Structures are given as C-alpha cells and as structure tokens.
Structure 1
C-alpha cells in the first residue's frame, strides 16, 4: 500500500491472494445481484470475495463519502469462531464497500481477519483476533509505504502466528519487497491508459515476483508444500489505484506468464 496525499493518484494498492491452490474461484466480475455495482473475484466455496471494489461506493464508517472504495481481506491468527455459528469472512469486503458498519457486527461468529478499507484519501485496517470478549482494532495507515500481512499491519498485530517458519517467511517477503518498492519510481496509473505495463511502469516486474523462485523464502508470488498434502500458493494479483478521477483495477492470475501475459484491466 502506497499513500501519497499530494500525488495525482494518491493511493495505490497491491494485493496478492494466497490460498490453498485447490480452492475454486472466479476472476473479478459483478457476481452479486444484490450488490450489482460491486466488482471482485468470487470464492466459489463460500460465495464471498477477498477484494471488492465500488467505483462510486460509500465506504465504511463515519468518514464515508461518494468516491470509490475498495476493501481487501486477509486471514488473521487467533481464536477461531465456533463451527456451528461461524460466518464467512468473504462477506466482509462486500459489506465494507457498500457502506456497512463493520464495527457493529457480531465478531464472535468470524474467524480472525484483517480488513483493509481503501479510499482516495487513505486507508484503514480493521483487525479481529477472535475469542469471546475480544476487540476490534482499527488503524489508519500512515503516508508512505505500508505492508499488511496475516500478522497485521507491519506484522505487529496483537494476535500473530505461533509458527516461527511462517513468521520468518512473512518477514523475508516484507523486507525484500519494501526495499524494492521504495527504490522504484512510484507509478501514476492513468485512468484512461488501457495498457497495464505502461500504467504501472517500474512496479510491474516487482509485482509479478521480481524474478524470485516460487519457493524462495522472500517470494511474493509463492507456492509451498507445508507437508499436509495440500499446496499453498498465490492464486491472483490485483493492482488498484484510487484518486479523485476514480479507480483503476488491473488483475492477473498468478503466477503471471512470460512477458507479463495474463494481465487484464477490470472495468468497474
């Protein structure tokens, strides 16, 4: 996430979806008849999404406005909800972009999560660690570059993974790519430029993996066998730009093919 209030395009969001590779999904589209203007990828298992965009949405919370809004979901660590009462976290991005009050939900029914709500004037992260008597933590992201992991913003959530291996992988990923994005010229994606490569400039080779093997400790686009018979990996990459003129949304299945083949611009 890059926030530069004085820039022509003040907010840029990179989202890499990591999931068990056998989990079925559909690419971004208008998948929800009850919310026809929302666009996002569809999780075919639970019916929700990991990232939703409203081109003229109202956003969530008291600072809502009529500009574009996006919401990105990350699974968190902590106490799982009771199975009999559990609700899908995939509904949360859709609720956020239509202006729903996330802070009024019965959080005991959700597994831990981090929800990043993005508008042209900035971004806020809502974090839930689960458990009876737990609390929702809200944080406004600062100007500059921020990294949100499954361990929360900058890996500093109150509820973090107990696995040293997973923590080390997340830290390696964040350290490598923070340095790479800080060193690269910040793009200014033009809303009327259909070409993904020209719109995102020096960011695009970094976003697509920066040449790292899929099993490298710092891999952004990853594929890992944790030994339980299932393969964990990156299934898609999303690039969003939000500004006064609207929102730009570029999407590709991961890993991206040679020469950047596979990118398409999503028309909200």
Structure 2
C-alpha cells in the first residue's frame, strides 16, 4: 500500500509539499536516489533493479524545464497483455522529462496505476484503470493518494476487504494528523538546514506517528505473509517544490532518524552508506 500525501498552498514560498511512502516486498532490490538514467541525466530517483525504473522521480529544473516531481502507485483493474506489457516504473521519468509527454503513450501496455505529477504551480493525479485514463487537477489543500486512488475513491479498487480497510484506516488516521500539523515550508536549493528542522511537525508523522508496524492504519508497516514473503515500507520521501527549485529528503530505513537531503542541480547526489537494505 504505497501512499502519497500532497499539500498545496499557492501562497506559500514552497507551494507543494509531498510525503510519499513506498511499500514493497523487502527482497525486491533497489538503489537509493541518484542520476541512474544516462538518457535523462538531470533526473534523480531511486532505481528499481528488477525493472529499471523508479517509484519517484525528481527534475531539479533548469533551462526550459521547470522543477517537478512524479510518484507512482500501483492501481487495480485488468492487467496489460503480458506479451506487450511495459514497466510502470518508466512513467515517473516520462512525467518529469520530455515535457511530460504521457499523452502519446499506448496505456493499454501498462497495468493500472495512479501517477502524482507535480510542479510548483500545478499538481495532477492521472489514474489508469486498465480501460480509461482519468486526469484530475488538484485544488489547494491536503490530498492523499493510495492504491485505491485519490482519497481511496477510484472506480477500480482492491477486491481484498482487508486491504481496503487498511487503506481507509491509514487515510482516517494520517489525514487529520497532517492537516493539524504545522505545514512545512523548506527552503529549496543545493544546501539547507537539517531535515528535522525544515520538515518540523511532519517528521514524526512521516516516521509512523508511533503506530505499531502491524497496526491496521500503519503508514510505516511490516507484514509477514509466510514462505519468506515480507511486505513492508522500504523508503520514505519528503519533497518540496518551489518555482526556483526542489528540496528532496530521503529515508531508506522508514521509522528511523536516518534522513538525508538528496543533492540536486549541479551538486553531487548525497552518498549512501554501504549495506543499504534491499526493498
């Protein structure tokens, strides 16, 4: 159950702030955010080693390219034909480069998805059901996207009652917690204050808000499905967008204090310690 919270305030110096949690089988290998794609050298994101794409991509902007980010959540509905299926992990990269040219894609080649596509002046959620694409412009305020779609109200939702209850519980707990917290306004740029200072009251919420890992509403979760199949939260991203740039903070050990600011623009991407867990 990946989740993205998006706060939009056009009056703020950072009009868009995003909290995104990636949930996946913990044995699925990945690399931390870096410039992993030579054909798109400006883009930064974590790289999924199984399919080569990403779950969240950031474009720091420059020239004619505005700063932007896109994050991907799997959806529910009819799957693409295996003989022609394309990886959904390419979609965030396409959404923040090449003018975001998603409209020309043959979406029938992709399994269902929800894609949050953000710039400082506009945030859209694109939802592909396997049959139909829905494109929504988000108004100012706080929004949440889960695998059941924007606010958990997609036309195609999970058939699992347990998963549906968990997504509803997560929204029910964390939406009011973030709405009541002081909205962060991080300064964008190549260097800034520590993560804990700039993300303020959002940070303990992003660490799980004290819920147990197996609680129904858990944002940071770990669940044992048996036969060695462990499902859990494998990374957390905090992204702030302003007209002048992006701030991107990343945690590869959700629930811990292991945050760092990812370096963007002309700066070197922050190095990661050896022995990162796979996800």
TM-score normalised to the size of structure 1? Answer: 0.92
Deviating beyond 3 angstroms after TM superposition, the runs of 4 or more aligned structure 1 residues are 226-229
- The yes-or-no answer on 1:25 pairing with 2:24 is no
Question: How far, CA to CA, are the matches of 2:139 and 2:153 in structure 1?
Answer: 15
Equivalent residue number for residue 268 of structure 2: none
Contact 1:103 1:136 in 2 (8 A): no
Question: How far, CA to CA, are the matches of 1:242 and 1:6 in structure 2?
Answer: 13
Equivalent residue number for residue 160 of structure 1: 157
Which of 133, 151, 162 is the equivalent residue of 2:148? 151
Unaligned runs of 5+ in 2: 1-5, 265-279
Equivalent residue number for residue 167 of structure 2: 170
| Root mean square deviation of aligned Cα | 1.4
Please state how far the C-alpha of 1:255 moved relative to its aligned partner.
2.3
TM-score normalised to the size of structure 2? Answer: 0.89
Distance 1:227 1:202, change over 3 A: same
Please state how far the C-alpha of 1:228 moved relative to its aligned partner.
6.2
Unaligned runs of 5+ in 1: 59-64
Contact 1:52 1:94 in 2 (8 A): yes
Equivalent residue number for residue 126 of structure 2: 126
Question: How far, CA to CA, are the matches of 2:253 and 2:159 in structure 1?
Answer: 28
Deviations 1:106-161 (A, max 9, x none): 1111111001100001310111111xxx2211011121100001011001111111
Contact 1:57 1:97 in 2 (8 A): no
Specify the SS of the correspondent of 1:108. Answer: helix
Contact 2:220 2:255 in 1 (8 A): no
Please state how far the C-alpha of 1:57 moved relative to its aligned partner.
6.4
Which of 258, 262, 265 is the equivalent residue of 2:261? 265
Q: Output aligned runs, 1:1-268, within 5 Å.
A: 1-56=6-61, 66-98=65-97, 99-130=99-130, 134-191=131-188, 192-227=191-226, 229-257=228-256, 260=257, 262-268=258-264
